[in-house]
Each structure stands twice: as structure tokens, then as C-alpha cells.
Structure 1
Amino acid sequence: MAEMEDRWLSVDEIGKYLGVSSDTVYRWIDKHAMPAHRMGRLWKFKKDEVDEWVKAGGAADRNKKGSDE
């Protein structure tokens, strides 16, 4: 059963887990180096990697003011 807890999550699943849209997940992958792994055309996530990224402030909008992006 432990291996099912550590399974790869889809964009929709990780978005639901974090309470954000899939568009936000794709933006975080592109602009904020969200930990994601490309498998063919799909992005997959490990929940523990995403948890660490969030705790480290990975999703924080650090460049809101004065951003050229």
C-alpha cells in the first residue's frame, strides 16, 4: 500500500491537491521551477517534492513588482 501513497500525480491531481487550476500549475512549472517530470506529453509530480517546493516558498510571487516577465 505504501507505493500507492507515493505514486506519480497528474497536473489535475496536483492542482486539486494544492487548490489551484491546472493553468496555474503550468505557469508555476514555467516561471517558478515547480518540481515536475515530463513523461512524453504529460507532466507528473511527486507530492513530497511539491510539498518541499511550497514550504521553501517556490510558489511565492516574488517578482510581482517591477517584473519584466
Structure 2
Amino acid sequence: MSFQGYLKTIKEKTGKGPEDFQALATEKGFVRDGQLQVKATEVTNWLKADFELGHGHAMAIYALLKGLKDQHSQ
């Protein structure tokens, strides 16, 4: 599945897009001053528990939060 495919599926499942997850991660204290402050495990555990995302989908959000990918990546 492409990165955009992951984002599309996440949006369909949760109703939330990249900006929403950025805001939620900031509220949780995972992101401060635009920088991710926690490890991938904390992010994926949160997304799996709160949004029932699978590991690959959770890692896509982690990549966005970490700045490894942007929402327009292929």
C-alpha cells in the first residue's frame, strides 16, 4: 500500500487527517515546538488503543509526526 493509501484508509476509518493527528499528538504532549518528543512505540500504542489502527497505519502517522513523510508523499 502506498503512503497516500495509508492516509486515505486512516481518514476513512477515523474521520481524521494528518492535521488532526498532529493536533492530538500536541495535546498529548507527544509533540512540542513542532518536534516529536516520544518514541514510535508510544505513538503506535496510542493510535492502536484509541483509533484501532493497525501497526502499518500507526507507523504512517508516526512518520508524519516525526517529519519523515509529509501528507503529500507518494
Question: What's the TM-score once normalised by structure 2's chain length?
Answer: 0.32
- Determine which structure has greater relative contact order: mean sequence separation of CA pairs < 8 Å that are 6+ residues apart, divided by chain length: 2
**Structure showing the higher helix proportion among its residues:** 2
Computing the radius of gyration from Cα coordinates, the structure with the larger value is 1
Question: What's the TM-score once normalised by structure 1's chain length?
Answer: 0.34
